[in-house]
Structure 1
Amino acid sequence: MKKIFLIIFMLFSSCFGCLCVGDINAGFNGSSSQISNVIDNATNIINNKLIKEINKNTEDIKAQNLELEKLLKAYKEELAEKKEILFLLEKIEKLLK
Protein backbone atom coordinates (compact mmCIF):
# COMPACT_ATOMS: atom_id res chain seq x y z
CA MET A 1 0.00 0.00 0.00
CA LYS A 2 2.82 2.35 0.88
CA LYS A 3 4.53 1.55 -2.41
CA ILE A 4 1.40 2.33 -4.40
CA PHE A 5 0.95 5.61 -2.55
CA LEU A 6 4.60 6.48 -3.14
CA ILE A 7 4.38 5.63 -6.86
CA ILE A 8 1.20 7.72 -7.26
CA PHE A 9 2.84 10.61 -5.43
CA MET A 10 5.93 10.44 -7.67
CA LEU A 11 3.81 10.33 -10.84
CA PHE A 12 1.79 13.31 -9.64
CA SER A 13 4.99 15.21 -8.80
CA SER A 14 6.48 14.56 -12.23
CA CYS A 15 3.26 15.69 -13.94
CA PHE A 16 3.23 18.88 -11.90
CA GLY A 17 6.87 19.46 -12.85
CA CYS A 18 5.98 19.10 -16.52
CA LEU A 19 3.26 21.73 -16.14
CA CYS A 20 5.78 24.19 -14.69
CA VAL A 21 8.21 23.90 -17.60
CA GLY A 22 6.38 26.61 -19.55
CA ASP A 23 6.49 28.99 -16.61
CA ILE A 24 10.15 28.22 -16.04
CA ASN A 25 10.99 28.90 -19.70
CA ALA A 26 8.94 32.11 -19.71
CA GLY A 27 10.67 33.30 -16.55
CA PHE A 28 14.08 32.49 -17.95
CA ASN A 29 13.38 34.26 -21.23
CA GLY A 30 12.00 37.29 -19.41
CA SER A 31 14.95 37.56 -17.08
CA SER A 32 17.46 37.01 -19.88
CA SER A 33 15.86 39.79 -21.94
CA GLN A 34 15.94 42.08 -18.89
CA ILE A 35 19.62 41.32 -18.36
CA SER A 36 20.31 41.93 -22.06
CA ASN A 37 18.57 45.31 -21.86
CA VAL A 38 20.59 46.34 -18.81
CA ILE A 39 23.84 45.30 -20.47
CA ASP A 40 22.89 47.08 -23.72
CA ASN A 41 22.05 50.27 -21.82
CA ALA A 42 25.33 50.14 -19.92
CA THR A 43 27.25 49.56 -23.16
CA ASN A 44 25.53 52.52 -24.82
CA ILE A 45 26.33 54.77 -21.87
CA ILE A 46 29.96 53.68 -21.94
CA ASN A 47 30.29 54.16 -25.70
CA ASN A 48 28.38 57.42 -26.02
CA LYS A 49 29.14 59.30 -22.83
CA LEU A 50 31.94 57.89 -20.73
CA ILE A 51 34.51 57.42 -23.49
CA LYS A 52 34.04 61.04 -24.60
CA GLU A 53 34.42 62.24 -21.01
CA ILE A 54 37.54 60.12 -20.53
CA ASN A 55 39.08 61.56 -23.70
CA LYS A 56 38.24 65.10 -22.57
CA ASN A 57 39.71 64.45 -19.12
CA THR A 58 42.84 63.01 -20.72
CA GLU A 59 43.28 66.14 -22.83
CA ASP A 60 42.72 68.34 -19.76
CA ILE A 61 45.34 66.40 -17.82
CA LYS A 62 47.82 66.73 -20.70
CA ALA A 63 47.25 70.50 -20.73
CA GLN A 64 47.74 70.65 -16.96
CA ASN A 65 50.94 68.63 -17.28
CA LEU A 66 52.29 71.11 -19.84
CA GLU A 67 51.52 74.00 -17.50
CA LEU A 68 53.16 72.17 -14.60
CA GLU A 69 56.27 71.54 -16.72
CA LYS A 70 56.46 75.27 -17.53
CA LEU A 71 56.05 76.11 -13.84
CA LEU A 72 58.71 73.58 -12.86
CA LYS A 73 61.10 75.04 -15.44
CA ALA A 74 60.49 78.53 -14.03
CA TYR A 75 61.15 77.29 -10.47
CA LYS A 76 64.37 75.62 -11.59
CA GLU A 77 65.53 78.83 -13.27
CA GLU A 78 64.68 80.81 -10.14
CA LEU A 79 66.56 78.30 -8.01
CA ALA A 80 69.61 78.54 -10.27
CA GLU A 81 69.53 82.35 -9.99
CA LYS A 82 69.26 82.17 -6.20
CA LYS A 83 72.14 79.70 -6.03
CA GLU A 84 74.24 82.04 -8.16
CA ILE A 85 73.36 85.00 -5.94
CA LEU A 86 74.18 82.95 -2.84
CA PHE A 87 77.51 81.92 -4.36
CA LEU A 88 78.37 85.54 -5.15
CA LEU A 89 77.37 86.68 -1.66
CA GLU A 90 79.55 83.98 -0.09
CA LYS A 91 82.43 85.03 -2.36
CA ILE A 92 82.00 88.67 -1.30
CA GLU A 93 81.85 87.61 2.35
CA LYS A 94 85.13 85.69 2.00
CA LEU A 95 86.79 88.67 0.32
CA LEU A 96 85.69 90.97 3.13
CA LYS A 97 87.18 88.73 5.82
Structure 2
Amino acid sequence: MSRIPGRWALRMRTPVGSIEAEMTFTERDGGLTGEANGKGETVALHDVTTHPHPDGERVTWRQSITRPLRLDLLFDVVVAGDELQGHSRAGRLPKSTVTGHRLAD
Protein backbone atom coordinates (compact mmCIF):
# COMPACT_ATOMS: atom_id res chain seq x y z
CA MET A 1 0.00 0.00 0.00
CA SER A 2 1.36 3.39 -1.01
CA ARG A 3 1.94 6.21 1.48
CA ILE A 4 1.15 8.99 -1.03
CA PRO A 5 -2.70 8.96 -1.33
CA GLY A 6 -4.24 12.14 0.07
CA ARG A 7 -3.74 15.89 -0.30
CA TRP A 8 -0.29 17.48 -0.30
CA ALA A 9 0.94 21.08 -0.27
CA LEU A 10 3.99 21.38 -2.54
CA ARG A 11 6.48 24.20 -2.97
CA MET A 12 8.81 24.25 -5.97
CA ARG A 13 11.82 26.57 -5.98
CA THR A 14 12.31 27.43 -9.65
CA PRO A 15 14.55 29.87 -11.52
CA VAL A 16 11.51 32.21 -11.78
CA GLY A 17 10.65 32.01 -8.05
CA SER A 18 8.71 29.77 -5.69
CA ILE A 19 5.54 28.13 -6.94
CA GLU A 20 3.01 26.50 -4.65
CA ALA A 21 0.47 23.84 -5.61
CA GLU A 22 -1.90 21.41 -3.97
CA MET A 23 -1.61 17.82 -5.16
CA THR A 24 -4.24 15.14 -4.64
CA PHE A 25 -3.24 11.49 -5.08
CA THR A 26 -5.87 8.74 -5.25
CA GLU A 27 -5.60 4.95 -5.37
CA ARG A 28 -7.77 3.60 -8.17
CA ASP A 29 -7.97 0.14 -9.77
CA GLY A 30 -4.71 -0.99 -8.19
CA GLY A 31 -2.78 2.09 -9.34
CA LEU A 32 -2.38 5.74 -8.51
CA THR A 33 -3.82 8.81 -10.17
CA GLY A 34 -4.11 12.42 -9.17
CA GLU A 35 -4.38 16.09 -9.97
CA ALA A 36 -2.51 19.30 -9.26
CA ASN A 37 -4.14 22.62 -8.47
CA GLY A 38 -2.10 25.81 -8.64
CA LYS A 39 -1.74 29.13 -10.43
CA GLY A 40 -5.45 29.09 -11.27
CA GLU A 41 -5.50 25.77 -13.12
CA THR A 42 -6.11 22.11 -12.30
CA VAL A 43 -4.21 19.49 -14.29
CA ALA A 44 -4.12 15.69 -14.29
CA LEU A 45 -1.11 13.72 -13.10
CA HIS A 46 0.13 11.00 -15.44
CA ASP A 47 2.24 7.89 -15.00
CA VAL A 48 2.22 8.03 -11.19
CA THR A 49 4.57 5.30 -9.98
CA THR A 50 5.97 4.30 -6.59
CA HIS A 51 9.04 2.32 -5.60
CA PRO A 52 10.55 1.40 -2.24
CA HIS A 53 13.33 3.78 -1.12
CA PRO A 54 15.64 3.51 1.91
CA ASP A 55 14.14 6.72 3.33
CA GLY A 56 10.48 5.90 2.56
CA GLU A 57 8.78 5.68 -0.82
CA ARG A 58 9.98 7.13 -4.13
CA VAL A 59 7.14 8.63 -6.20
CA THR A 60 7.37 9.87 -9.78
CA TRP A 61 4.78 11.46 -12.07
CA ARG A 62 4.33 13.72 -15.09
CA GLN A 63 2.09 16.71 -15.54
CA SER A 64 1.63 19.51 -18.07
CA ILE A 65 0.95 23.10 -17.04
CA THR A 66 0.14 26.30 -18.91
CA ARG A 67 0.77 28.83 -16.10
CA PRO A 68 3.08 30.62 -15.57
CA LEU A 69 4.51 28.98 -18.73
CA ARG A 70 3.50 26.06 -20.91
CA LEU A 71 5.70 23.24 -19.59
CA ASP A 72 5.80 19.46 -19.32
CA LEU A 73 7.08 18.58 -15.84
CA LEU A 74 8.58 15.39 -14.45
CA PHE A 75 8.56 14.98 -10.65
CA ASP A 76 10.77 12.63 -8.59
CA VAL A 77 10.23 12.81 -4.82
CA VAL A 78 10.69 10.68 -1.71
CA VAL A 79 7.82 10.46 0.78
CA ALA A 80 8.87 9.95 4.41
CA GLY A 81 5.90 10.03 6.77
CA ASP A 82 3.95 13.24 6.15
CA GLU A 83 6.81 15.04 4.38
CA LEU A 84 8.24 14.77 0.90
CA GLN A 85 11.25 16.18 -0.90
CA GLY A 86 12.87 15.80 -4.28
CA HIS A 87 12.90 17.67 -7.55
CA SER A 88 10.99 18.48 -10.69
CA ARG A 89 12.37 19.03 -14.15
CA ALA A 90 10.97 20.82 -17.19
CA GLY A 91 12.78 19.58 -20.28
CA ARG A 92 16.33 20.92 -20.43
CA LEU A 93 15.80 23.49 -17.69
CA PRO A 94 17.68 22.96 -14.41
CA LYS A 95 16.08 20.79 -11.73
CA SER A 96 13.83 22.62 -9.27
CA THR A 97 13.78 21.64 -5.60
CA VAL A 98 10.42 20.30 -4.41
CA THR A 99 9.30 20.07 -0.77
CA GLY A 100 5.90 19.31 0.65
CA HIS A 101 3.74 18.09 3.47
CA ARG A 102 0.50 16.18 3.84
CA LEU A 103 -2.63 18.27 4.38
CA ALA A 104 -5.24 17.22 6.93
CA ASP A 105 -8.51 16.07 5.40
Structure number with higher strand proportion: 2
TM-score by length of 1: 0.14
Instruction: Tell which has more relative contact order, 1 or 2 (C-alpha 8 A, sep 6+).
Output: 2
> Between Structure 1 and Structure 2, whose CA radius of gyration is higher?
1
Q: If each structure's helix is expressed as a fraction of its own residues, which one has the higher value?
A: 1
Length-normalised TM-score, structure 2: 0.13
